[in-house]
Amino acid sequence: MCAVRLEYSFCGLRKPRNGAHNIGIRERFMLSDATIKESNITDIKRGFNSLKNGSTNSKAIATYYDEWAETYDATLKNWDYQAPYEAAATLCEYLKSGDNILDVGCGTGMFAMAMSRHLDCRIEGIDVSAASLEIADKKGKYDCLQRYDLQATPLPITENAFAAVACVGVMTYIEDAADLLADLCRVTRPGGYILFTQRDDRWVEKNFDSLISSFEERKLWVPLKVSSAKPYLPKNDDFSDRIQVIQVLCQVI
């Protein structure tokens, strides 16, 4: 299993996937609670009461996914969640074996599992949920994992470090998507790729068309693909065919 890092340092050196496992991994992830910020008083009071509504309160998000972690994969399978598999299928067309990928909001490791079906890449993960990271680590697909609040940019990662960054099913929980995406451009090397997804309702609400164009105007990236809206959680009653997902692939300049 991978080496786990909690410090604000780049986990850039490859660790043997079958190496010694750190003892007390969940406890070590929990040490970084102080890095997780609360976004605003209103959201703190509301907490996180449903996937449909989401939240941008990082402590509420961490708690929600910590409590769900053990059954998360099975539940998402029942809901026919395909976004990680579709993301991996898209990225593998642009990458080669040995390339390094940052999985932002990696959760329990679904994207890394999907990517491993296509290419043998070096994948590092970062997420706010300690329990989810523990499960991701057990899958043995990550070279490094660290717990961190994705809203507290800059991320604890050096610039120009990755051939690609994937951020799947995360943007719902980010108050300032432009801030995070700009930082993902920072950590992706020139010519590398950023793939992210966003719900179609939040796409309109947050004006993602304008955001993507503004990054192109700032010469941060070139958009390569913006998918049509596709089923997101088609067997979940709250989502069904009412809330869909859009996949975006950009090349960093």
Phi, psi of 103 (to 5 degrees): -100, 100
Say how many C-beta atoms besides its own lie within 10 A of residue 118's C-beta. Answer: 15
Lowest mean pLDDT among 44-58, 73-87, 197-211: 44-58
Alpha carbons 251 and 41: distance in angstroms, whole number: 37
Name the residue with higher pLDDT: 86 or 50: 86
What would you report as the CA-atom Rg of the chain, rounded to the nearest whole angstrom? 17
Confidence tier at 34 by pLDDT (50, 70, 90): very low
pLDDT of residue 99: 98
Q: Is residue 186 part of a domain?
A: yes
Dihedral (C-alpha) 134, 247, 39, 43: value to the nearest 10 degrees?
A: -100
Tell me if 36 is assigned to some domain. Answer: yes
Distances (CA, A) of 136 to 24, 27, 108, 172, 200: 15, 15, 4, 21, 27
Mean pLDDT of 218-229: 98
CA 69 to chain centre: 15
**Mind listing the pLDDT tens digit for each residue in 126-135?**
999 999 999 9
18 lies in a domain? no
pLDDT above 90 (res 39) = no
Report the CATH number that the domain containing residue 212 is assigned in CATH. 3.40.50.150
What residue numbers bound the domain in which 244 lies?
25-252
Percent of the chain with pLDDT over 90: 80
pLDDT tens across 166-182, in order?
999 999 999 999 999 99
Any idea what DSSP says for residue 142?
-
In a domain, 178, yes or no: yes
Instruction: Please check whether residue 114 lies inside any domain of the structure.
Output: yes
Residue 3 confidence (pLDDT): 42
The more confident residue out of 35 and 50 is 50
Q: Is residue 128 part of a domain?
A: yes
pLDDT at 46 over 60: no
Q: Is residue 117 part of a domain?
A: yes
pTM greater than 0.85 (yes/no): yes
Average pLDDT over residues 130-144: 98
Q: What is the pLDDT of residues 181-194, one digit of tens each?
A: 999 999 999 999 99
Work out whether the CA dihedral 244, 75, 80, 113 comes out positive or negative: positive
146's tokens: 């660290």
Span 94-114, average pLDDT = 98
The upper half-sphere exposure of residue 83, i.e. CA atoms within 13 Å in the direction of its Cβ, equals 27
As for how many domains the chain has, the answer is 1
pLDDT attached to residue 28 = 43
Mean pLDDT for 201-225 is 98
Q: Which pLDDT value is given to residue 48?
A: 84
Q: If you average pLDDT over residues 234-243, what whole number do you get? A: 96
pLDDT score of 162 more than 70: yes
Mean pLDDT of 213-223: 98
Mean pLDDT of 137-156: 97
- Residue 171 within a domain: yes
